Structures are given as C-alpha cells and as structure tokens.
Amino acid sequence: MSAPERPFALAGKRVWVAGHRGMVGSAVVRRLAREKCEILTVGRKEADLRRQDQAEAWLALAQPDAVFLGAATVGGILANDSRPAEFLYDNLAIETNVVQGAWKAGVKKLLFLGSSCIYPRLAPQPMKEEHLLTGPLEPTNQWYAIAKIAGLMMCQAYRRQYGADFISAMPTNLYGPGDTYDLRGSHVVPALILKAHVAKQSGAKSIEVWGSGSPRREFLHVDDLADALVHLMVNYSEEQTINVGTGQDVTIRELAEKVCRAVGFQGGLDFDASKPDGTPRKLLDVSRINALGWKAKTGLDQGLADAYAWYLAHVAKAA
Ligand code: GFB
C-alpha cells in the first residue's frame, strides 16, 4: 500500500458512493457534483453488497480510487428493535464485503459511515469518541450499534495490518432530502413531518408522539453531513473515528413543536408512553471535526422547513 495521499485530492478520481439511493448516499452524490471527480454508483440488482462475490466483482470492475460506504440497512427506534437479525446481518455483511473488497481492489481511500448509537446508553454528554465501548449499549438499537462498531474497527484493523487509508465517521441523528417517510420504520423527524402533514390535511386535533417527549436528540441536516464527509475524505487520514454533529440538542417535545410549526399544523401533541424512549440523550462532542476545520451550518428550524419542502415535492405529491 503506497503512503496515504494528503490531502486526498478528489479531482480526476473515480469515487464510488455505496448506497447512493439512500438519504446519505444521495446527499454525498449531490455534494460530489461540486468536485471534479467521476462518481460511480451501482444498484442493488447489479450488486447485492451482502453477497461477497457480487461486492468483489463490482469493485474489480469499477476500480474506484475512493469509496464512501453509506450502504446500510437503517431505520428508527421501532425498526431497530423489531428487526434485530436483519440489522445485524445486513450491516455486518455489507461492511465486511466492501472493506475487504476495497482493500483487495487497491482502493486508495475509504470512508465508513457509522452512527452515534455506537456509544453507551448512558455515556457522559456530550459523547466523545473515547467513550466507545465504555458501557452497555442502548437495547433498542444494540444490534445496529454492534455492526457499526465492527465496521469502524475493520477500518482500524485494515489500516494497522495493511496500511489501508480507511477512515470512519460517526454522525448523529440525520434528516433531510431523501429520508424515508413511513410511520413505523422511519426516524423521528420524517415520522413527525408525515403525522403533522396528514393531521393538517385532515383537520385532526392532535398528532401522536412516541414516548415521553423528554429524550434529547441532536439533528444534523444530511447535506451538512455530506459536506463533512467530503471534508474528511480529503483532509483526514487517521485511525481515530470522528463524530459529526451540530453540538446542540433538543427534547423530542421541542422537536415535535418545531415540526408542527414548520408544517403549519396548529393541533396538540399526544404522547404515547407505550412506545420506547430509547437513549435518554445522544449529544456528540464535535470538537475534533471542528478542529479539522468543519462546522455544521444548517439550523434545525431551517432544516425542518427544507425537509418538509422536499416531502411535499417528492412524497406527498406522489401519494
Ligand atoms: O429517531 P428515532 O426513531 O431513533 O427516535 P433513536 C428518536 C426519539 O423520538 C425516540 C421518539 O425517543 C422516539 O420514541 N419519537 C417520537 C419517535 N415520535 C416518534 C415517531 O413517530 N417515530 C419515531 N421513530 N420516533 C436511532 C437508532 O435511535 O438513532 C438508529 O435506532 C440510528 O439505529 C439512529 O442509530 C441515528 O434516535 O432513538
């Protein structure tokens, strides 16, 4: 393996965005359009990345110089809690095949995407990268968390043993264009946008909010994440994983109130205590990525307005 190129110039490079149809992958494709690189994508029909033979065949054919590994099986708290085998198998298989395949194909740089749920349920807040594996995980998403911890450590292992310039980033809760709008499987932001929109259309008096409303969450607009990932791909080449977030959090109740304002729904909030709250708080310490010269730009109110506009243009109209 040749010495890492620093900074890693994207111009003229072949860059594969694995998971390009997802919310994160499509945001990375949008952001890379500003770079003078060749963007490579492949659909699940041509290459099911859970199959080692198909992942390696694609990599041998595509010969990318760089890989953004955003392909994953993702979902909100209920999807994680009710589909543990899928979340563990799919995500372990995808990351194992793509990291090993990228190394075999001589990929110069790979960025693996994890999630803030890798940290212990009761980690000190804000959560630093060093808090990894210092306590028990949140039960509702421990399966996804274990898979993402394994992926992060694969990048570290391939760097140590083979000198592979493979890095990883741990984003906080994400939202924005390309999100999944499904009442049961979605994360909280799209779920509440959908509920508030339908309630507004139907004249309902209130919307249902899961849990107590008291957990705190940090929300990063996916276009900010994409910009951070390109920044790390170009400027960062160390073993340490890097948190990506805004450094600010809100309660779920405050979020629901913001979503209702963004949607223009004036009804009330009904909290359903039978649904899980999950981790009480998941605020990331973002001092490392800030020190690397990147900061989130999109405030939550502006981001929610942008997400609702995307929903109206791409989901509500289709429905
Ligand atoms: O976004 P979310 O599903 O995932 O839930 P997590 C965040 C909080 O919002 C929880 C509450 O306390 C939910 O109870 N909530 C309120 C709702 N109403 C709703 C609703 O209608 N739908 C949903 N989904 N939540 C995820 C992990 O945890 O964080 C993933 O499960 C991933 O694996 C992601 O790591 C970043 O933030 O609790």
Count, residues in the chain: 319
* pLDDT > 80? residue 4: no
The Cα diameter of the chain in Å comes to 63
What pLDDT, on a 0 to 100 scale, did the predictor assign at position 5? 80
pLDDT in tens, 103-146: 999 999 999 999 999 999 999 999 999 999 999 999 999 999 99
Out of 119, 144, 175, 181, the active site residue is 144
3 state SS of 173: strand
Atom of ligand 1 lying closest to residue 173 CA: 36
**Cβ < 6 A, ligand 1 pocket:** 76-78, 80, 115-117, 140-141, 144, 173, 186-188, 191-192, 209-211, 215, 217, 252, 275-279
Ligand 1 centroid – CA 253 distance (Å): 13
Residue 66 near residue 15 (C-beta atoms within 8 A): yes
3-state secondary structure 71-113: CCCCCCHHHHHHCHHHHHHHHHHHHHHHHHHHHHCCCCEEEEE
pLDDT at position 246 is 98
Residue owning the nearest CA to atom 14 of ligand 1: 277
The per-residue pLDDT for 1 is 58
Q: Tell me if residue 144 is catalytic.
A: yes
Q: What is the mean pLDDT of residues 160-179?
A: 98
pTM of the full structure: 0.97
pLDDT tens digit sequence for 232-276:
999 999 999 999 999 999 999 999 999 999 999 999 999 999 999
Distances in Å between the alpha carbon of 104 and those of 53, 116, 148?
A: 12, 29, 21
Q: What is the pLDDT of residue 2?
A: 64
- Residue 318: pLDDT over 90: no
Angle at 46 between CA 66 and CA 14, to 5 degrees: 20
Ligand 1 centre to CA of 77 (Å) is 4
Residue whose entry in the numeric block shows the structure tokens 């008096």: 205
Three-state SS at 207: strand
What is the C-alpha separation between 236 and 8, in angstroms, rounded?
8
CB 255 within 8 A of CB 188: yes
Q: Using alpha carbons only, how large is the chain's radius of gyration in Å?
A: 19
CB atoms within 10 A of CB 165: 25
Strand 242-244 to 165-171 pairing: parallel
Q: By alpha-carbon position, which residue is closest to atom 23 of ligand 1? A: 188
What's the gap in Å between 95 CA and the centre of ligand 1?
Answer: 23
* Residue of the CA atom closest to atom 17 of ligand 1: 188
Banded model confidence at residue 6, pLDDT cuts 50, 70, 90:
confident
**Helix (H/G/I), strand (E/B), else coil: 208:** strand
Q: What is the pLDDT of residues 264-299, one digit of tens each?
A: 999 999 999 999 999 999 999 999 999 999 999 999
pLDDT digits (tens, 9 = 90+) for 48-83: 999 999 999 999 999 999 999 999 999 999 999 999
The CA 195 to ligand 1 mean position distance, Å, reads: 15
Distance of CA 78 from the midpoint of ligand 1 (Å): 8
Residue with CA at minimum distance from ligand 1 atom 21: 191
Please determine, for residue 10, whether its predicted confidence score (pLDDT) is greater than 70.
Answer: yes
The 10s digit of each residue's pLDDT in 183-221 is 999 999 999 999 999 999 999 999 999 999 999 999 999
